[in-house]
Amino acid sequence: MMVMNYGTPLRMKVLHQLSKLKETDHRFSLTFDEWTSSSNRRYLNINLHTYANDRVLFWNLGLTRIFASMPATVCVEILRKKLKEFDLDLDIDIHAIMVKTGTLIPALQQLCYAHGLQLGILNVIYKKNEHESIQQAQIDVPLENPEAETNNDGDRSNITDDDRFIVEVSSSSERERELISDFNDIINKVRKIARLFRGSPTKNDMLQEYVKKEFGRKIELDRDCKTRWSSLATMIETFNKLKLCIPKILIDLRLSTNIEYRFSEHEFCALENLENILKPVKLAVEVLCRQDAILIIAEATLKFMIKKLEDNHSALASELTCFLRRRISQRRTNLTALLIYLQNPCSYHASCDDETFHLPAKNSLRKEIKHFVIRMQFSLSNSYDNNDDEEVVQAVQVTNNNQEVLPSDLTLQQELELTISSASNVICRAPSRANTLESIIKKK
């Protein structure tokens, strides 16, 4: 009762905040995901987002219990019921949604990029389970269909089955996925060494003596988790860092002759290559999952990731790049191009050089703006003052002429952050007077 009584005024506070934002013509975006409790009960976690007063606002609307399976139609009804508790209408107040449920409602839809990158990783370095059910394959293991990609007009009719919001629980979901044969034996060796030292404080203390001599501080070996592919990248990165210390301690433990713990030079090279491939993908996923991530940040991050993979020049990196480009294309719509256009109209140019990151013509973007404004019923009664655009043009010229050359000693993460910062600079045209919706869009 204490918890419930404490939650009631908080709910009323959220209702008041949302009501005030609705009065000022604000709209919201939805993100949500499934969560299973330790008592094996399933819930839908619903988050509400908007931008107001020059900052990003975020509310967690709480958990809603899921019974049996939850196809997209059931998900829509759950969302409508939950939003109604906060006096929100799914068709009017919500302008964007993250999953394929968006095909059943008028809201703009953005499929999850982070999930797409995970599917790309599964395509390349993990085996498919032949005994998995179709439902499980739709969630975790993509059924390859090279022709099933979205076009650049945002058509979602060709999205592959693995992008559907279908939650089906089966025993196969608990099976540990195996790596492909090229890496399975090597990674199993790394796991055995990690278990050897993580399972014995005495052996680990002996290892840390060598580590402190080498790095001046303790560095613990990591063990990957079967449900998080990114933990594989962390485990490999830590192992590669300590690869000079591990043979020394294995000699002390008289295990250096054991083939299960001995690594050849070829295996060390393979681990380094795998680390260099997984690291930019892991950094990209971490950026995409940040609360401040928007589509412009996602665009810059994905381009950075693809460039780093292409610079690798290995066969595995090329294969991963191909699958990741396909996953990005399935999820990329004109919404990204629209934001890039509105951020800096003077420097926007339609582009077909890169098929994955294609930018459409301005007239198609203006059509999308018109459709969006009409559907959202925004007020068009605001007046605009005439201002000179010369300052904006000069600002764009200064920005284009002063592109910084990145220092060579930056880490991969620092380089990514500078790339994101550069892509996020906003240069807006001065507002101008217009009367009709079409003229407003063209002038703006």
> Which tens digits make up the pLDDT trace of 381-429?
444 444 444 444 444 444 444 455 666 678 888 888 888 888 877 665 5
Q: Is 144 a member of any domain?
A: yes
Residues 342 and 193 in one domain: no
- Would you say 236 and 271 are in contact if contact means Cβ atoms under 8 Å apart? yes
Q: Is 414 a member of any domain?
A: yes
Residues 7 and 100 in one domain: yes
Residues 160 and 118 in one domain: yes
221: amino acid identity, one letter: L
pLDDT at res. 172: 38
125: amino acid identity, one letter: I
Q: Is 261 a member of any domain?
A: yes
pLDDT at res. 294: 87
Of 228, 250, 276, which residue is a domain's last? 276
Q: Is 109 a member of any domain?
A: yes
344's CB contacts (< 8 A; 6+ apart) are 396, 425, 426, 427
pLDDT at res. 362: 85
pLDDT at res. 216: 92
Of 174, 196, 229, which residue is a domain's last? 174
pLDDT at res. 165: 39
Q: Which two tokens stand for residue 163?
A: 């992008």
pLDDT at res. 406: 62
Of 276, 299, 321, which residue is a domain's last? 276
Rounded Cα–Cα distance for residues 321 and 314 (Å): 11
Q: Is 234 a member of any domain?
A: yes
Q: Is 441 a member of any domain?
A: yes
Q: Measuring CA to CA, which residue among 300, 242, 299 is closest to residue 275?
A: 242
pLDDT at res. 175: 46
Residues 39 and 159 in one domain: yes
Q: 42-77 as b/e, with b when 16 or more CB fall inside 10 Å?
A: bebebbbbbeeeeeeeeeebbebebeeebebebbbe
Residues 394 and 437 in one domain: yes
- Would you say 243 and 262 are in contact if contact means Cβ atoms under 8 Å apart? no
Residues 135 and 71 in one domain: yes
pLDDT at res. 340: 86
Q: In which residue are the tokens 């068709």 written?
A: 91
Q: Is 390 a member of any domain?
A: yes
284's CB contacts (< 8 A; 6+ apart) are 117, 301, 302, 304, 305, 416
Residues 195 and 165 in one domain: no
Residues 10 and 114 in one domain: yes
Rounded Cα–Cα distance for residues 213 and 109 (Å): 53
Q: Is 295 a member of any domain?
A: no
pLDDT at res. 387: 44
Residues 54 and 163 in one domain: yes
Residues 412 and 354 in one domain: yes
pLDDT at res. 378: 63
pLDDT at res. 278: 92
Provide block-wise average pLDDT over 10 residues at a time, the chain (444 residues). 90 92 89 85 91 88 88 87 91 78 78 90 76 40 36 42 39 54 86 92 93 93 78 91 92 89 90 93 92 89 94 91 93 88 80 84 86 72 43 43 60 86 68 66 73
Q: Which domain covers residue 30, as residue numbers? A: 2-174
Residues 352 and 432 in one domain: yes
Residues 34 and 105 in one domain: yes
Digit-coded pLDDT (tens) for 315-328: 999 999 999 999 99
Strand partners, 179: 126
- Total domains in the fold of the chain: 3
Q: Which pTM was predicted?
A: 0.70
